[in-house]
């Protein structure tokens, strides 16, 4: 490896190290780059799973598991919100949900399962006959 190749490699390593430091600083400040889906997912997972962060630290304790929010994020409808409130329905499960479940596994799969159950019953009766 000659001198110029070595210099180029060292420059690239420095650039990578600077980028890592910048990301670490932004993470400490609670800033998230909206153009990076991995960064958004990482920030959301840190915000949503407080019980797992306690297991990551030695001794199982953690002072805070939520990413700090920006100073101007006082309203729930602010820009850059990572998580939206889910709507829940109460009552019984609709038939369309069962239908979707059956279709997702495939009708042949369910037919095979029913035939195996039926064959097991037939063999049980035949064994006791």
Domain ranges of the chain: 94-129
pLDDT in tens, 107-117: 899 999 999 99
- Is the pLDDT at 27 greater than 60, yes or no? yes
Report d(CA 56, CA 117) in Å as an integer.
45
Taking the whole predicted model, whether its pTM rises above 0.85 is answered as no
pLDDT in tens, 31-69: 766 667 776 676 666 665 554 444 444 454 444 455 555
Q: Which of 97, 119, 120, 116 is nearest to 108 (CA)?
A: 116
Enumerate the H helices of the chain as residue ranges: 3-29, 37-48, 50-56, 95-105, 107-128
Contacts 24+ apart (CB under 8 A), 22-29: 27/67, 29/68
Report d(CA 73, CA 85) in Å as an integer.
16
Report d(CA 48, CA 42) in Å as an integer.
10
pLDDT class for 75, splitting at 50, 70, 90?
low
């Amino acid at each position: 490896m000659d001198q110029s190749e070595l210099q180029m490699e060292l420059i690239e390593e420095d650039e990578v190290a600077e980028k890592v430091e910048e990301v670490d600083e932004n993470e400490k400040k609670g800033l998230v780059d909206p153009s990076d889906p991995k960064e958004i997912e990482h920030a959301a997972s840190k915000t949503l799973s407080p019980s797992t962060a306690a297991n990551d630290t030695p001794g199982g304790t953690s002072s805070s598991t939520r990413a700090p929010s920006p100073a101007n994020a006082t309203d729930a409808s602010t820009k850059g919100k990572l998580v939206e409130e889910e709507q829940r329905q109460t009552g019984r499960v609709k038939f369309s949900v069962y239908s979707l479940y059956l279709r997702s596994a495939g009708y042949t799969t369910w037919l095979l399962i029913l035939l195996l159950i039926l064959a097991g019953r037939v063999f049980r009766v035949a064994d006791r006959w």
